[in-house]
Amino acid sequence: MVYISTALTIDFYTAKLCPAVPDWYRETFRHCLDCRLSLWVWGAPILVIACVIPAYNEADFITDVIHRIPDLVRHVIVVNDASTDCTRDEVLGLNSERVILIDHAVNQGVGGAMISGYKHALELKADIVVKIDGDGQINPKNIKSLVTPIERGEADYTKGVRFRDRAVLEKMPRMRLFGNIGLSFLTKIASGYWNIFDPTNGFTAIHRMALESLELENLDKGFFFETDMLINLNGVGAVVQDIRMETHYGNEQSHLSPLKMCFTFPPRLIRAFVKRILWQYFIKDFTALSVFLVCGIGLFSFGFCFGLYKWISNLIAGVATPAGTVMLAALPVILGFQLLLQTVVLDVQNVPKIPLHSGNRR
C-alpha cells in the first residue's frame, strides 16, 4: 500500500467526496459522518480511539455513560476499581463487544485505575486514549471536539475546561469553584503550562506517542493524577490544549475532598515546580532564564535579608536608618523582583508549541 505524505481533509459532513471513492469505502467510515478527519490519501488509516472509564461505585451512572459514548470510539475500557456496589454487574450486563472490563481486586485510586486502562489501550494499539469519569457529569458527545485537535496534529494532550461557560460556573459548587481557581494558578506555575486552566478536570485525551513517552508507573495513583499528568507531559515537551465542555451536576458525589486537596496538593506542586525548573533550565538546558533566575533570587534575597537585619538592629538601638542603607537594601530588592518577573515571562514563552506526533519535531 502506497501512502502519500501530504494530508487531505475529507469532509464527510457535506459529502464533498471525490467521485472515485466507492460507496463501500465511504460506508467503512460511517461512524465519522459528523466530523472532519485528516486522512492520508490512499489507504486512509483512521486513528483508533479508545476510552478509559475509571469506575468506583458508579453503578447508578456507568451504563448511561457507556451508552452515550459515540461510535467513533472503538474500545471502551471500564476499570472497576474494587467497587463495593453493582458497578461490575452493570458493565457486564451491557454485553457489548466494544466494552472491555478490567477488575481491580484492591482499590488503587483513580490514578491506579487509569494506569491500568492506559496500558490496556496501548496493547490494543489505540492511537488516541480518552479519559472520562463514570459519574455522568461529562457529556460523552464532547469526545468528538476533545480528540479533533489531536487528529489534526495540533496537540498531544487535550483536556476539558469548565471555566469558559458562565452557566456552568453558576451551577458549580462554590467550594469546588474557588478551590479549582487557586489550584489552577499553582498548577500553571508547577507544570509550566501557562495556557491551561482547570487542572483537575477528568475529561482528557492523549495521543499514543505522548502516552508512550511517560513513565506510567511513576504517575500519582490518587486524585493528584490529572495534575501529575500535566507536570510529566511538560517534561517530555507535549503540547496541551484546553477544550470547552458541557458539565452536568446532579446527584453524583465527588470522591475528592476540597479540604484534603487544599492540604495535600500545594506541597506536591511546590516539589514539582522545583524539579521542573532544575531539569528544564539547569540540567537539560541553560538559557537566559537560568541567569535571570539565579541573579533575581540572589539580589532579592540579599536586599530583603540585609534590609530586615538593619531595620531590626536600628529599631533596637533606637536610631534612624540612614538613607544610604535604605537604598542599599531597596535597590537589590527592586532589581531582583524585576529579574524574577522576566523569568516568568520567559517561562510563559517556553510553553511547548510543536506536538510530539506532528512530524515537525527535531
Does domain 49-257 bear CATH number 3.90.550.10? yes
Structural domain spans, the chain: 7-40, 49-257, 286-349
For 230-265, how does the pLDDT look when each residue is reduced to its tens digit (9 = 90+)? 999 999 999 999 998 876 655 555 556 666 677 788
Residue 337 phi, psi dihedral angles, 5° rounding: -65, -40
Angle between helix 323-349 and helix 288-317 axes, rounded to 10 deg: 150
Asked if 118 and 129 touch (Cβ cutoff 8 Å), the reply is: yes
Q: Is the pLDDT of residue 32 over 50?
A: no
- pLDDT at position 170: 72
pLDDT band at 177 (very low <50, low <70, confident <90, very high): confident
Asked if 55 and 83 touch (Cβ cutoff 8 Å), the reply is: yes
Among 9-13, 77-81, 160-164, top mean pLDDT goes to 77-81
Extract the runs of DSSP E, i.e. beta strands, from 107-226: 128-131, 157-161, 204-207
Q: Is residue 183 helix, strand or coil? A: helix
For 302-353, how does the pLDDT look when each residue is reduced to its tens digit (9 = 90+)? 999 999 999 999 999 999 989 999 999 999 999 999 999 999 999 999 999 9
Strands 75-80 and 99-103: parallel
Q: Residues near 298 by Cβ (< 8 Å), separated by ≥ 6? A: 336
Asked if 128 and 153 touch (Cβ cutoff 8 Å), the reply is: no
Q: Is residue 213 helix, strand or coil? A: helix
